[in-house]
């Protein structure tokens, strides 16, 4: 049995219909005014200025969406030598957050190497041109070598800064283009950078919880592409929407079929929440996960026990379980039968088929789940 469970944990990181995570194309109206909101500006920073921002927490460098292999000492030393020789570096890309902090979109490895050297974390070695600097740390560049300290600190980093309110649908494309040479990022990895904050931290905390791992079979150390976080992000987006928590300019947000936009608004809401609200929401979600495992066991969120997690089953089932206040053996079989009668119905299967995030399908499947909630409470 143990071997079987290990197999499930390895296999079940795959999600049904997960291709939407990789789709970076903007599917809206090309003539939409959204493109008038795109704001990208050129800006130059000195290395010293960027290091100061980093130390002040105003430059977000170490974000987990940057999964590239860490540079070797040889690569780091070659970068320092190139700068000291006056060679230009490729353009850097930053995303400016609402509070004037910056997220590094492209250039993490280069900045990590630069900051590491300025912090005396490694010595120069195997330099081909400036070989007289071999064995030198930054602090060793003094007296007749002092000019090289100044040259590094004053070096101008040429960058493009993506400014708010550039919408996510455009930012996804920007990330995709500038990172195309390496491992392609998916939407959740990008959101993890764009929405750094307590809301996203809460989501990651839940993915690390014992109950989340138990009911989903997703182990965080194996979830390299943040699919567990994506499941929860979708759930919170629809939960907040159907709980009437989302507003735009004082008016209740109306879902129009753009799930990416719904997620964007929801993550901004979560990041703006008071800590007490987030704690309550986290506890409520973990109780819902406990309820899910109690009532459904290993079949939770799946069409069959060995089948991948279905995202639409995850968000609707967990929504149902937030409305269950107690775990009662007496209603376990009744609840399970009612739920699976609905989710195996032809109507529900249509709602989670093609165009599953369109307005009629989203409203249709949550209407059916609300009917189960009503029956259970009666």
Structural domain boundaries in the chain:
2-31+187-377, 40-162
Average pLDDT over residues 37-46: 84
Residue 59's pLDDT band (boundaries 50, 70, 90)?
very high
Per-residue pLDDT tens digits for 295-336: 999 889 988 777 889 999 999 999 999 999 888 888 898 999
Q: What percent of the chain has pLDDT over 90?
A: 58
Query: Does the pLDDT value for residue 33 go beyond 50?
Result: no
38 has a pLDDT exceeding 70: no
Poorest-confidence range of 75-84, 177-186, 224-233, 335-344? 177-186
Per-residue model confidence (pLDDT) at position 182: 54
CA 200 – CA 137 distance, rounded (Å): 38
CA distance linking residue 341 with residue 345, whole number of Å: 6
Q: Please check the confidence at residue 25 and state whether its pLDDT lies above 70.
A: no
Q: Which two tokens stand for residue 177?
A: 């283009």
pLDDT score at 4: 39
**CATH (residue range 40-162):** 3.90.1530
pLDDT at 66: 45
Q: What is the pTM of this model?
A: 0.72
Cβ neighbour number for residue 140 with a 10 Å cutoff: 15
> Can you give the pLDDT at residue 12?
42
Strands, DSSP E only, in the chain? Answer: 15-16, 40-46, 59-60, 92-96, 102-106, 156-162, 247-248, 251-252, 309-310
Q: Which pLDDT score is estimated for 162?
A: 85
Query: What's the CA gap between 261 and 167, in Å, rounded?
Result: 8
Query: What average pLDDT does this structure show over 254-262?
Result: 93
Q: Compute the mean pLDDT over every residue in the chain, rounded to the nearest whole number.
A: 86
* Among the ranges given (134-143, 216-225, 351-360), the one the predictor scored with the smallest mean pLDDT: 216-225
Residue matched to tokens 């070096």: 155
Query: What residue has token string 């939770």?
Result: 300
Residue 31: what pLDDT? Answer: 47
Please classify residue 150 by burial: count the beta carbons closer than 10 Å to its beta carbon, then call 0-12 exposed, 13-18 middle and 19+ buried: exposed
């Amino acid at each position: 049995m143990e071997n079987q469970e290990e197999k499930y944990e390895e296999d079940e990181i795959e999600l049904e219909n997960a291709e939407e995570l990789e789709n970076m194309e903007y599917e809206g109206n090309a003539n939409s005014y959204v493109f008038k909101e795109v704001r990208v500006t050129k800006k130059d920073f000195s290395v010293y200025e960027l290091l100061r921002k980093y130390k002040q927490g105003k430059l977000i460098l170490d974000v987990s969406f940057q999964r590239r292999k860490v540079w070797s000492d040889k690569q780091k030393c070659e970068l320092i030598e190139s700068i000291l020789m006056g060679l230009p570096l490729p353009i850097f890309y930053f995303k400016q957050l609402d509070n004037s902090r910056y997220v590094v979109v492209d250039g993490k490895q280069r900045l990590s190497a630069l900051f590491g050297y300025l912090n005396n974390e490694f010595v120069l070695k195997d330099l081909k041109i400036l070989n007289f600097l071999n064995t030198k740390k930054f602090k060793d560049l003094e007296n007749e070598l002092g000019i090289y300290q100044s040259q590094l600190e004053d070096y101008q980093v040429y960058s493009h800064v993506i400014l708010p309110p550039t919408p996510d649908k455009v930012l996804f494309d920007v990330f995709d283009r500038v990172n195309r040479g390496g491992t392609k990022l998916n939407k959740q990895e990008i959101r993890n950078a764009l929405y750094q904050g307590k809301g996203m931290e809460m989501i990651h905390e839940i993915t690390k919880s014992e109950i989340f791992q138990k009911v989903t079979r997703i182990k965080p150390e194996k979830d390299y592409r943040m699919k567990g976080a994506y499941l929860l992000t979708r759930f919170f987006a629809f939960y907040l929407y159907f709980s009437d928590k989302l507003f735009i300019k004082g008016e209740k947000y109306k879902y129009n079929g753009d799930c990416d936009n719904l997620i964007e608004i929801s993550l901004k809401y979560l990041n703006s929440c008071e800590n007490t609200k987030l704690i309550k929401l986290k506890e409520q979600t973990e109780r819902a996960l406990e309820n899910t495992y109690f009532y459904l066991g290993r079949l939770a969120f799946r069409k069959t026990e060995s089948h991948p997690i279905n995202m639409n089953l995850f968000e609707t089932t967990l929504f149902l379980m937030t409305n269950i206040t107690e775990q009662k053996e007496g209603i376990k079989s009744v609840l399970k039968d009612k739920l699976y009668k609905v989710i195996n119905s032809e109507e529900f299967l249509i709602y989670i088929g093609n165009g599953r995030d369109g307005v009629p399908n989203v409203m249709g499947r949550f209407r059916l789940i609300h009917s189960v909630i009503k029956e259970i409470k009666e």
